Amino acid sequence: MKGESNARSRTVSWEDPVIGATAAPDMSGLDYMRAIMTGELPTAPMADLMGFGLVEVEEGRVVFDCIPAEYHYNPIGSVHGGLACTLFDSAMGCAVHTMLPVGVGYTTLELKVNLLRAITIETGCLLCEGALHKNPDSIARCCGFEQPSLNELRHRWIFVQGPARARPSMSADESPPPSPG
């Protein structure tokens, strides 16, 4: 109830995203994603904010894990669907990135998610796998999200990545360009 002291707080720290954005154009996508997973390059601030991280990286495939927490909740007592959508977008984007040669980038064109079951704190660790089903020079699609403790599919998604394009180099003084959309 309003007025009662039930406030919680959370402090989030992250590293400068320009460090990774500056390194990316000079690395293959697979090398770049591996450097993030091993800590040689910083994770995306969004991953730090939402509390998820890379646990597997290979050509055309990545896996993120996330343990649902109270700070992920919506006002109706379950994890906000935006957490699942953010994990899906990250997993597919990173899976596509692992296939790209030096100097090539991508962008998300569409993301469709079917939320099949609620996620709560009791759900436990979630794994979100992004796996490429097509050549990254065309459109990439994939699906999957599971709760490993129950070996149960929690959500399905369809994700479409745009065709890979050469990306401009960025100096350490520049910020990454705004995302389209």
- Domain assignment of residue 176, yes or no: no
pLDDT of residue 118: 84
pLDDT above 70 covers a percentage of the chain that reads 71
When comparing pLDDT for 128 and 15, which is higher? 15
- What CATH number does the domain containing 127 carry? 3.10.129.10
For 99-118, the pLDDT digits (tens) are: 899 998 887 777 777 777 78
Residue at 8 is within a domain: no
* Predicted TM-score of the model (pTM): 0.77
In a domain, 177, yes or no: no
Residue 139 domain-assigned (yes or no): yes
Domain assignment present for residue 178? The answer is no
Domain that holds residue 21: 17-166
Q: What percent of the chain has pLDDT over 90?
A: 44
Which pair of tokens denotes residue 164?
């890979």
SS (H, E, C) 47-89: HHHHCEEEEEEECCEEEEEECCCHHHECCCCCECHHHHHHHHH
**Predicted confidence band at 28 (pLDDT cuts at 50, 70, 90)?**
very high
Tell me, what's the pLDDT at 74? 95
Q: Into how many domains does the chain fold? A: 1
Q: What per-residue confidence (pLDDT) applies to 157? A: 47
